Structure formats: C-alpha cells, structure tokens
Amino acid sequence: MPTEVERRRRPLFGGLDLSGALGRYASMLVLALGLFGLIIWINGKNPILSYRELFGSTLGSWYGFSEVLVAMTPMLITALAVALPSRIGLINVGVEGQLYMGACSATWGALTFSDAPAFILLPLLTLLGMLGGALWALVPGLLRAMGLVNETITTLLLNSVAPKLVAFFVFGFWHSPMDTNKTPNFVPAARLPTFFGTRIDFGLVIGLALLTIFWLVMKYTRWGLEMRAIGGNPEAALRNGVPLKAYIVGVLCAGGAIAGLAGMAQVSGYYGVLLTGFSRGVGFVGFLISWLSFGDPLGIVLTSFLVAVITTGGSMLQLTTALPYAIINILLAVALFVVLSGINLFPKRKSA
C-alpha cells in the first residue's frame, strides 16, 4: 500500500496538483489503449472497431452506462475496504475472502428468514454481511495487534480458505435441488431494490455514502486525526497515547465489514443467489483500485468508473471479436503496469 511518503509525493484529487495527476492518467490511458490495440491487431482483429465497440457499448447507450454502474458498485466498496485500513498502514489483501464470508452469512440469513418482510430482512442481511466480513478480518487483526503475524499474509491465506468454506456450505447444505453449485434464488424480500428498471442496485448508493462518510471522518474527526497519526508514524502515535492495538483490530475489522457488505450486495443485489466461486477477483480489483487512487475517496470513484468501463466493455468485445473474455484482463493489467511504472507521457513543465 502506498505509504504516507508516496501519498504526499503524488497527490491526487485531494485538491492539489491536478495537472500532474491528469498527465499520469492520460498517459495511462494512451499507453494502455495503444498496447491493447496492438494485441488485438496481432490477433487479427481491427483495433479501431474494437475500441468503438468498447466505448460505444458502454458510454454510448443508457443501458451500457447502467451496466457500467452495476460493475462499478462492488469495486467501490471493495476499494474502500482496502483504503480504510491502508490509512493506518495495514495492507488488507484479504478483501476477496471477506467478501465471500459476507456473502455467505448474508445467504444464511436470506435462506433462514425467507419469510420476513423486506424492511426487516434487508437490514438484517446487511448486518449479517458486515458481521461475516468483520469476523473474517478479526483473526488477522488480532494477530497483527499482538505483533505475531503480519496481516498481509494472514488475510492473503484466508482469502483462499473462504471460497472453499462457501463451497462447503453450498454443496453440503444450501444447494438448490437442480444445481449443486448454487443456492436457490433469493426471495424478493431479500433482494436489494434496483433503479429505473436497470440492474443498478441499492449497493451503489451504499457505496457512495460510505465513501463520503470515510472522507468526512478522515478530515474532521478525532479518529481521522489519530488514524493519520498512526499512518504517519505508528511508533510515535503509540507513545503519544493513541490506542494503537484497538485501532488495528477495529479498523481491520471495519475493512472486513465493508468487504462483507460488498459481498452481501453481490448476492442480494446483483446475483440474487449464491454461486460458488462467484467473485471473479473483484476483491483484488478493489485492492488495485484503492492502491491506484492512493486511498483517496474521489480517486476511488473515478478509478472504479474507469475500470468498470473496461470490464463491461470487455464483455461486449467478446461478442464482436470472438476473443475470450479473459483477454480484458490484459487491458486491465496493462493499464496497471503503466501506472505502476509511473511512466508519464505528459510531465509537468516545472519540477515538483
């Protein structure tokens, strides 16, 4: 996770240094599109047409745009689940696992209380989701607070455990009569409401609200100050009386809870059912988005949007170019490579 050093050195949308950031983002787009176009061309397809498809299908129509927002929703929330702990220097790579566990506990609630009305069931599912994710982050948080194991490793390892646990539950207990890979569809009361007949669900609102709260807390409250102190220098913060261990456990669990919420939104909003292996790496995408935006809330929104455009457009691309869907990962990866390597085609004239 970028340290405070890197955050200050490469300020983003926090209101400073806009031209440097724009230059970098522009480079990222140009280089990424160029390299990807090259790959498409090598495979015998027309890059220009492909790009037209990609952007046309996503930004050119209301339906496409709504699909982008749908894809963006889990990314926003998972990115926040990484960004919050990163403010105190914790690296939460375990979002993928926390996501699964949140989905798992929410599913349990949906299946067990399927008779309850929506206004009770939905908040309950939300709480269950957050609880599931938070619990999954509890052990790593405790281990880190006790100074035993670094949370990067524990969350990473638990990532691999969670999907198997979910599969265990689905296979063993919850699967629908026809298909052992997924649960029965959720009852309507367990589904997050959608907007305007599109697939955009309430999760988007939750995500944006959470990001706003995050920004307010970090900027104005005592906890934001103490978290920034920890992020800036944990040893000093400790000696200055900031309850470091409490923050470590609390903030990592909060990150887990947020990831769990994302998981709940996935099964309750997007899918309506728990499918084993439903996450196609959205936890990792969230990690990368948070990292790319240096944990800045506005940056997270913009980056998620961009990434969502790429992935949504990718499914369109698959239909028109007969290239496998997985190839969209290349575009994503190349864009990441460009940003990670810090290549800037449009550097500012003045030196920083």
Partner 1 sequence: MTLLSILGVISSAIYSGTSLLYITLGEIVDQRSGIVNLGLEGLLLISGATGVAVTSITGNPFWGVLAAVAAGGLTNLILGFLVVTRRGNQLASGLALMFFGFGASALIGKSHVGQKINGLARFTIPGLGSLSPRYLSLLQFDLLIYLSIPCALLIWWLLFRTRWGLGVRAVGENADTAFASGRNPRLIKYQALFVGGMLAGLGAAHLTLAYTLNWTEFMMGGRGFIAVALVIFSKWHPVRAIAGALLFSGAVAFQLLLQASGVSISPFLLDTIPYILTILVLIAWGGTRKYSAPASLGRVYMGTE
Partner 2 sequence: MVFQTFNLIPAFTVAENIALFYPELKEVFDITQISKQIEVLSERYSLSVDPRALVRDLSIGDQQKVEILKLLISDARILILDEPTRVLVPHEIKALFKIIDNLRADGYAIVLITHKMNEVMEIADRVAVLRKGRLAGLLPIEDASEGLLVELMFGRKVAEFQGIKSAWVSVEVTPLLVLEAVSTQAQGTEVSLQNINLNIRPGEIVGITGVSGNGQRELADVVLGKLRPESGAITLNGEDISRYSIGSIRSRGVAFIPENPLWMAVAPFMTVLENFTVPNIRRYARLGGLRIDWQAARRDYAHSMEALEFEFPLLSPARSLSGGNLQRMVIARELAHQPKMIIASYLTSGLDVRSAIAGRMALVQARDQGAGVMLFSDDLDELFAISDRLIVLQGGRIMGEFKPADTTFQEIGYLMTGSEAEHAY
Residues that bind partner 2 (CB under 8 A): 4-5, 7-8, 220-223, 225-226, 228-229, 231-233, 235-243
> Measuring CA to CA, how many Å separate 61 from each of 89, 131, 201, 255?
41, 38, 19, 35
351 φ, ψ (degrees, to nearest 5): -85, 145
* Residue 222 or 349 with smaller CB distance to partner 2: 222
Structure tokens of 6?
């890197």
Q: Which of 46, 114, 152, 198 is close enough to bind partner 1 by CB under 8 A?
A: 152
Distance CA 175, CA 181 (A): 7
Is 159 a residue that touches partner 1 (CB under 8 A)? yes
CA 125 to chain centroid: 19
How near is the Cβ of 74 to partner 2 at its closest, in Å? 29
Please check whether residue 95 is in contact with residue 286, taking contact to mean a CB–CB distance below 8 angstroms.
yes
Where in 129-148 is the site for partner 1 (CB under 8 A)?
A: 143, 147-148
Please check whether residue 263 is in contact with residue 133, taking contact to mean a CB–CB distance below 8 angstroms.
yes
Q: Which of 21, 104, 131, 158 is close enough to bind partner 1 by CB under 8 A?
A: 158
Amino acid occupying residue 197: G
Q: Which of 51, 215, 271, 337 is close enough to bind partner 1 by CB under 8 A?
A: 337
Beta bridge partners of 275: 182
DSSP letter (8 states) at residue 301: H
Q: Which of 234, 284, 298, 347 is close enough to bind partner 1 by CB under 8 A?
A: 284
Beta bridge partners of 182: 275
Give the count of residues interacting with partner 1 (CB under 8 A): 49
- Count of residues in the chain: 352
Is 160 a residue that touches partner 1 (CB under 8 A)? yes
Binding residues for partner 1, rule: CB under 8 A, are: 1-2, 39, 43, 91, 93, 143, 147-149, 152-154, 156-161, 164-165, 167-168, 171-172, 281, 284, 287-288, 291-292, 323-334, 336-337, 340-343
